[in-house]
Structures are given as C-alpha cells and as structure tokens.
Structure 1
Amino acid sequence: MAQVEYKDLLDAGVHFGHLTRKWDPRMAPYIFMEKNGIHIIDLNKTLASLDEACNAIKGIVRSGRKVMFVATKKQAQEIVSEEARRLKMPYVTDRWLGGMMTNFATIRKSLKKLQTLEKMLKDETTIKNIAKRERLTLTREKEKLERVLGGIVDLTRLPAALFVVDVKRENIAVLEAIRLGIPVFAMCDTNSNPNLVDFAIPANDDAYKSISLITLAIGKAIEEGLMERKQDKDSQAAQEEEDAKRQEETRAAAAEGADAPVAAAEVAPVAVEEAPEAEAAPLDATPEGNTN
C-alpha cells in the first residue's frame, strides 16, 4: 500500500474539523485542539486509523467479496465514482434509496427493469414500432434508473463492506449496514458519531483534497487485495496442475509395471550323483567251504 505520510494529510487539509459548536462529543478522542473556533483533528490518530482500515479492507477484497462506495455529496461524487469504476466495485453517488440493502430483492427487480429497457432501446425494430412519445418516456425512465442504480447494475448480492465519506449525511446507508451486520469504513468529521461505524477514519469530509486522499488510499488497498487474490488463484492453479501431473506420472508408472512381462525365475541346476555300480559276482565262483 502506498504509505500516506503526515505531510500529505496536512497539505490536503485533513486536519480541519467543524466549528466547535457543531461538534459531536463522541469525536473527542480524535480531536487534537481547538483553534479560532474550529476543532483540529489529531493526524497521528488519522494515520493509525487509516492504516488499520486499509489492512482490514484489503483482507475483505482478497477473500473475493465486494466493497460498496457511498458518497452523495457533490464534492465527493466524481472522485468516488471514478475510483469505484476503476476497481470495478459498486458505488452510489446520486441518492441512497431507502432499503437498497435491507430490501435488496426489490432493488434487483429495478435492476432487471433497467436491463430490459436498455435492450429495448438498443433494438432498432422495437424503436420503430413504438410512438415517439412512448420512446421519450422510456428513455427518461432509463436515464433515471441509470442515475440512481447505474453504480450497482452488476451487483448480484449484498456487498461485504461499505466505504462511506460522510457518516452524518449517509446515515440511512450506515443504519442499513448495521442492521445487516455489514462492516462500515467511514470518514468521520468532528460533527459525526464514530461509534456507528466499525472503522472510523477521523478526517475532513468536506474538502475535495481530503476526500480524494483518503479515497485513493482505500482504493490502493483494494487494488492490492485484488492483486493478492489473483496471485493466490494463480499459485493454487499451478499447485493443482503439478499435483495432477504427479498423479498422471504415478498412474503411468503403475500401468507400465503391470504390462511388463514377468521374468522367468532362473532355476539352479541340481547335480544328481550317480550311485556307484555294484560289482557283479563271477558266475563260476564257488562258495567257500563247499567241496565235492
């Protein structure tokens, strides 16, 4: 992960919080001081929180799951949508529809409707057979669905985590994630409640440079997670290929041994000793003592 340094945070204005009268007391552990009626965020805690969040989100992506980017404020829409598209992750930058996650079945119906409209308007035969007024109505409906759901058109199941730019503004999304047990990574300004999210990154969530720096750091962590997942897949495929090759060699060796002719056992010649021939007695021999 590209290491974000203290100076980078300082140059981007990450340390500027809200007016002291607008603060949330639960952000007190992350506030360094008050200056000219504005709270200053402790950048050392920002660095530590960002590092922890990046490591956690990289682990989620490495396991093959999706992270949804949520940022509907004007200064965050462009950078968040570009980074999410680059990483091929779902995102919401126009408006968070109530029940987008808790009522995901209905949202999927709307996504199917969007896909149907896209196919219908691309078919020249269908376009010729419908009236101009109806065609304009369908086009407007398609544009509206694209604006709201275009970032999640490829989402087939609930995301594994949420990255939120402003907790206070995106409170509906955060509450839905809490209800479903989905971890939330969020930029928390001094007017936010960090206890609502799992990984709070204390930072200025109003300045474009601050949003860009934190979002790109999270994006870099996701990119590294995707690369590590690809390496894991490649190494697993290589291991499986090597195991298959070994099994094939073992089978071939076994088959070769079974087909080989059995060598005849060499029988050692047994020497047979011939019995000595008995000497034949002479025919004319007379028994001793037999006299005529």
Structure 2
Amino acid sequence: MARRVSTRRKAITTLAAWSVGFLIFFPILWTVLTSFKTEAQAIADPPLFLGFDWTLENYAVVQERSDYLRFLWNSVIIAGGSTLLGTMVAIPAAWAMAFVPGKKTKDILLWMLSTKMLPAVGVLYPIYLIFIQLGLLDSRIGLVVVLMLCNLPIIVWMLYTYFKEIPGEILEAARMDGATLREEILYVLTPMAVPGIASTILLNIILAWNEAFWTLNLTAAKAAPLTAFIASYSSPEGLFYAKLSAASTLAIAPILILGWFSQKQLVRGLTFGAVK
C-alpha cells in the first residue's frame, strides 16, 4: 500500500521546490530586467528591482551595433550541426556497446567519459595549428566538428544507457525475420528509443549553444556564434551592464524557448527506463 502524504508535507515540499527554482532562475530574471534599464539605473546602489524607467534603447543599440541575426544563424548551424553529426556517429557506437558482448565495454565508456575531464586549454594549441593548416579557422564546419567531438562521449554514454533498457530479444526477432544490421538500427532500435534520443539531442544542443571556450578561440568574425556576440560587449573601456544584459537576453532567448516547449520530452527522456 502506498504511503499517504500529508497536506502539510505537500505544502512544504512545494514551497521548497518553488524556492529552489526561483533561486536558480533569479540570475536570468535579473539579466532580463537589467536589459530594460538605463546604464545609470543598471549600476544604481541600492539595486533597482522593478522601480525603474523601462526602455528598449539597449536592444536598439545592440541591434544597430551588431548583426544579431548573423550570430544567431551561426549558433543554429553550429549547435544543430554538431548535435546531428554526433548523433549519427553515436547511435551505431552505442548499439555496438549495448548489444554486442564485450568485457571492455565499461572500460571504454569510462575512458570516453574521462576525456571530458581534460582541460580544454590543454589541447587548444595543437587544434589551433591543425585548423590553420586545414583552413578551418573561423569556419562553421570546423566548429561543428570540434563541438561534436567534445560532446560525443556524453551522447554515446546517454544513448548506451537508453539502449540497454531495450530487450535484446526484440532485436533478435528482427534478425530472424531477415532484418539487416542497418534495418535493425533504423527501423527497430531507433523508434523504440525515441524518448532517449530526443532528450540526448536536446541536452547536447544546449551544451553546444552555450559553449564559449572553443567558439571564442577558433572564430574571429565570419563564423562567430552568440557567445562571441555577448563577449563583444565586454570592452577595455568598461562594462556596459545594460547593453551587456540586452545582448545576453537575446542570446539565451532562443534556447530558453526551446527548453520551455520541450521540457516534457526532456524529462520523459531523462527518466526513460527508470520505472519498470
């Protein structure tokens, strides 16, 4: 019999959850509010929360100074391209690890995940030289490949976890019906793991969208995404907080909207196989 939860406990849990959620969301809220202030109001002491003169001047200045849509398009191509390429590589790799017996599978997964612990600056110099030699510096193709390789361990690890929840007998039945390896992956395995694949894609789009180290060091102007767009408002003359907040709001707005509309799918995928 399920244990009954008292009304008081529900109220306390709900209040605690909302408090933690608001604490996490507050920096974003403050950034959005600051983007509608003047520069003087942005640095006012004590800080102004709502009692200020709302203005769209910062957004007008940002759009006039920078081509926001160009930076946005670069971010879409880089984040989407790296995630799509990584998923295409990771699905067969995760299938092999999940359904082909091997004693070293866990060791390979741990080794792949350990590469995420390497400081990115440790490999910046060789990758920078390779990009110069191949003519990939300040190119979207180069960033797509680099971000795909950076996030590939996470993609493989997540897909491996989802694939392990699928009974191997289903794939064996498909083989007995004459399905080839390609048909087994495309028409049997992939549709059954759609929630897990969707959540993996969403998470890696967010990671690629927010990546700053590689995008700032491997681009100049032509392929610069929104991370470079934000960084351009930090100048030697000083920080213009209101304009920087407006640029930040424009940069995070698309990914916030995507996360808001896909939150159910993301939660469903992250809990895929957790309850049997």
Q: Based on CA coordinates, which of the two structures has the bigger radius of gyration?
A: 1
- Where relative contact order (Cα < 8 A, 6+ residues apart) is larger, the structure is 2
TM-score, structure 2 normalization:
0.29
Select the structure that is richer in strand.
Answer: 1
- The structure in which a higher percent of residues are helix is 2
